[in-house]
Amino acid sequence: MSGPRGSLVGQQLRVATTRFAHGGHAVARDDDGRVVFVRHALPAEVVQVRVTRGKAGDRFVFADVEAVETANPHRVTPPCQYAGPGGCGGCDLQHADLGYQRELKAQVVAEQLSRLAGIERDVLVEPVPGDVDGLRWRTRVEFAVDREGRAGLRPFHTRDVLPIDDCLIAAEPIIDSGVLRRRWPAQRAVDVIAPSGSGSAADSESDPGSDPGSHPGSPAAVLVPVPGGVKQAPEVTEHVASGPWSGDITVDARGFWQVHPGAASTFLDHVLGELDPQPGERALDLYAGVGLFARALADLVGDEGAVLAVESDERAVVAGERDTARVEQLEWRAERVEQALEPLIDGGDEVDLVVLDPPRAGAGAPVIRQIAQLSPRAIAYVACDPAALARDLATLADAGYELDTLRAFDAFPMTHHVECIAICRPSSAIRG
């Protein structure tokens, strides 16, 4: 029986799962043939579930596991006491062993490429150096704060706060900072950052007698209380060391940076190795953030080359310009990517290399077509969403560019998220 206005929320079902879907759910069908996306389930299981979202007449509903009757052989007891149905919403794969998590992510990437771009590829999801069996890797965590001032994390798709005393995917300096032992009155949230370089400590109204950036055992952690309004965050320094390039980068503590400690160096090393920038070449770093790729490209193309970094976040651009003030071949533009590319296309410009690291929604067809009009010899696409990547690869194919190589990285262990780096080249170059 359905609830008010046909709602199915709360209805209990017994289903058999078949496969794993993009978004972190196992897929099943109920007795009426309706698709059920089941959180905290794995393929090839028989589970009892409770519907969490959906109404009568929907083609699909969402549900969460209540009991497992037949378990996948790769199911394990989650290492974190807060993971699982009704618990923290951050980790959705702790109930699978780490190797199987990567197999599931590889299947998802391959499925999205096939379904959305017509690309058939065997995919291997590779570990990223810096975690401990998939734990203690997250160097940036935003903890929500409840009405009593306790820091915690939110259950899946709720605004509730679950107070916790540890987060097993958080880097040790995050927990050692004392953020979970203290009260944060009048704060909406508190960000904690464990930078690979140095950091400036933020003021704390809740404990004026202590320095929140220098708790015993955690000199690197930076705590940033977040009141109801906008708060100016401190800056931190991240150190990057890849094969061709190394350096320090200034980052807003609340700005974008890869949260896995090995991700930035791993991604940079792979991108530079594939693109092989040459002296005198022209390159674009789109959705540049603070310029991880732009700075390395500028050094490698040298004084005779040119690099344009485009980023809509003005604070990131300010930090990037300050850090690279003496790098004359690197230009920054604080605007949307499509706006920055228009004058290049209108002027008949061409570039040699393009790196893009767009947000989860992807670059989108208009930007992809603009990139192709600039005739780069190689494009490196860094993607945090395989479906968005696949859609953009399909557009690139229509514009004369094919996928050359693809690597997938487990930069978010214990979650369904996966990072991919696709290298595309003109179809004529790949076909010889």
Residues annotated as catalytic (active site), given as ranges:
384
Element (H, E) at 98: helix 98-117
User: Measured between alpha carbons, how far is 334 from 331 in angstroms, rounded to an integer?
Assistant: 10
User: Measured between alpha carbons, how far is 242 from 228 in angstroms, rounded to an integer?
Assistant: 39
Q: Which two tokens stand for residue 93?
A: 């794969």
Evaluate whether 320 touches 291 at the Cβ level (below 8 Å). yes
Region of residue 130 (left: phi > 0; alpha: psi -120 to 50; beta: else): left
Q: Which two tokens stand for residue 343?
A: 């004058």
Residue 357 counted as an annotated binding residue:
yes
Evaluate whether 422 touches 109 at the Cβ level (below 8 Å). no
Evaluate whether 35 touches 27 at the Cβ level (below 8 Å). yes
Q: Which two tokens stand for residue 171?
A: 């880097």
Q: Residue 192's closest CA among 160, 230, 145, 156?
A: 145
User: Measured between alpha carbons, how far is 164 from 166 in angstroms, rounded to an integer?
Assistant: 6
Q: Which two tokens stand for residue 397?
A: 């194919």
User: Measured between alpha carbons, how far is 271 from 293 in angstroms, rounded to an integer?
Assistant: 8
Q: Residue 279's closest CA among 362, 352, 336, 203?
A: 352
Pairing of strands 330-333, 140-145: unpaired
Residue 258 counted as an annotated binding residue:
yes
Q: Residues annotated in the binding site for S-adenosyl-L-methionine, as ranges?
A: 258, 287, 311, 357
Q: Residues annotated in the binding site, as ranges?
A: 258, 287, 311, 357
